Amino acid sequence: MASTSFKDRNLLAVIGDEDTVTGLLLAGIGNVDKQKRNFLVVDSKTSVSTIEAAFEEYTERKDIAILLINQHVAEKIRPLVDKYNQAFPALLEIPSKDHPYDPSKDSVLKRVQKLFGD
């Protein structure tokens, strides 16, 4: 039963700024099925509710293995990101061109440090 939980998960999803999403789409992660995309471009006009809706959709989809989210975007929905604790899709916070990575804000790294008592 456990092997079927990830068997059909073959997509990456991304929530990020235009440069990040464009780069990943050019690398080939883009997918549109049944009018559903696996990416969301976030800019200054994107509402928090739109980001939250995309996050919830991507984390509930059974075809997504990994969800990449720019760390500065994750900060906008931090309570939702911190509450997420499923194995699939794996959630990875990534830096963007204009916002460097800050390990002290990464929810996955915080969980690992807590697990090892650091």
Which band of pLDDT confidence, cut at 50, 70 and 90, is reported for residue 118? low
Q: Which CATH superfamily is domain 2-115 in?
A: ATPase, V1 complex, subunit F (3.40.50.10580)
Structure tokens, 112? 């690992």
> Model confidence over 58-115: pLDDT tens digits?
999 999 999 999 999 999 999 999 999 898 999 999 999 888 888 778 877 777 777 7
**Is 91 exposed, middle or buried (CB count within 10 Å of its CB: 0-12, 13-18, 19+)?**
buried
- Percent of the chain topping pLDDT 70: 94
Q: Is 15 helix (H, G, I), strand (E, B) or coil?
A: strand
- The ranges assigned to domains in the chain are 2-115
Q: Is 56 helix (H, G, I), strand (E, B) or coil?
A: helix
